[in-house]
Amino acid sequence: MSKIKSFSVDTGDMFYINHNSSNFTVIDCNLQDERKKEIMDEVCAEAKNKDITRFISTHPDEDHIHGIEYFDKRLPIINFYCVKNKVCKQDEEETDSFLKYCDLRDDTSKAYYIEKSCQRKWMNENGENDKGHYIGSAGINILWPDINNSKFQEALKKANETGHPNDISPIISYSVNEGVSVLWFGDLEHDFMESIQDDIKLPKSDIVFAPHHGRLSGAIPEKWLKQIDPKVIILGEAPSSLLKYFNNYNQITQNSAKDITIVCDGKKIHFYCGNENYTRNFLVNEGHDDSSLGYYLGTLTL
């Protein structure tokens, strides 16, 4: 089994994947003072005894990197994955978290620059470590950016010049053989996705974390939605008035559900949340109550 968790971290993003291998992956962080110790206690416990831990940063905006310096103190980041960039911020935006991001991004001993179809042990390749210990693949693949694509190059140039990096976010796929498939889009914006929708074909995926925290400004183009054909779309914690509700698809809204935990057990996907009063009728109650995971929402059979 593997486990995916999406933390309720205000209007930011923070996820981890506890893989069904000796891998542990974190995607972004937004560690606010009131929860940072609690969250990092959990992350450290989940990552314990894993051979490989990696931190994937979708882009350097504060709501995706806040508290990364505290994260690094609690669980030192030695594998830092990001899209190669030279984004700078105005003096008032140069927070401790952004400066730590820059340190990690520019440290060639720690940084690995992700792009479409990149291959790496043990992100998407099996292999032995330096102690001869076999480690299975994490099942993570990067579907975008294509660094040779002129639209991406223009977006990167704009991000480097203006400090607004939403459209350099990668598209990240996680999949398990004969099991769940999941997509993340960072904060890609609708207009940019529209401009590249013919440049990339996306795979069918069971679960999608909606871009830009589920905002209308990050609405996934209809062409991509038809390709993906998601069974569940998870909307982030943008204000309800700004959310893009995908009326033809099953949805979970994090601003109501709070923390979301997804347990992937073969063809069965069990959903849990932090709000005991939240319900989703499209999920089947199979009685998998487990208070350590939150309140059981129900199960999806793939």
**Pairwise CA distance, residues 255 & 238, whole Å:** 7
Q: Is the pLDDT of residue 171 over 90?
A: yes
| Residues of the chain above pLDDT 90, percent | 95
**Mean pLDDT (whole number) for 159-174:** 97
Q: What is the CATH number of domain 2-301?
A: 3.60.15.10
pLDDT at residue number 129: 85
pLDDT of residue 60: 98
Q: Where are the alpha helices (DSSP H) in 36-145?
A: 36-47, 62-65, 68-74, 96-105
Q: Which residue has the higher pLDDT, 91 or 120?
A: 120
What is the structure's pLDDT at 131?
A: 82
pLDDT tens-digit series, residues 135-150: 999 999 999 999 999 9
pLDDT digits 0-9 by tens, 8-59: 999 999 999 999 999 999 999 999 999 999 999 999 999 999 999 999 999 9
pLDDT for 9 = 97
The span from the CA of 281 to the CA of 172, in Å, is 28
Is residue 84 scored above 90 in pLDDT? yes
Three-state secondary-structure class, residue 237: coil
b/e per residue, 137-160, with b = 16+ CB within 10 A? bbbbbbbbbbeebeebeebbeebe
Counting Cα atoms < 13 Å in the Cβ hemisphere of 56 gives 26
Residue 54 burial class via C-beta count within 10 angstroms: exposed 0-12, middle 13-18, buried 19 and up: buried
- Confidence tier at 92 by pLDDT (50, 70, 90): confident
pLDDT at 235: 97
Query: Does residue 133 register a pLDDT over 90?
Result: no
Instruction: Decide if pLDDT at 178 tops 90.
Output: no
Which positions ≥6 away from 153 have C-beta within 8 Å?
147
Is the confidence at residue 93, as pLDDT, over 90? Answer: no
In this predicted structure, the answer to whether residue 179 has a pLDDT above a threshold of 90 is yes
Of the chain, the end-to-end C-alpha distance in Å amounts to 15
Q: What is the mean pLDDT of the chain?
A: 97
Closest CA to 302 of 274, 283, 279, 280: 283
140 three-state secondary structure? strand
For the chain, the domains span: 2-301
Rg of the chain taking only CA atoms, in angstroms: 18
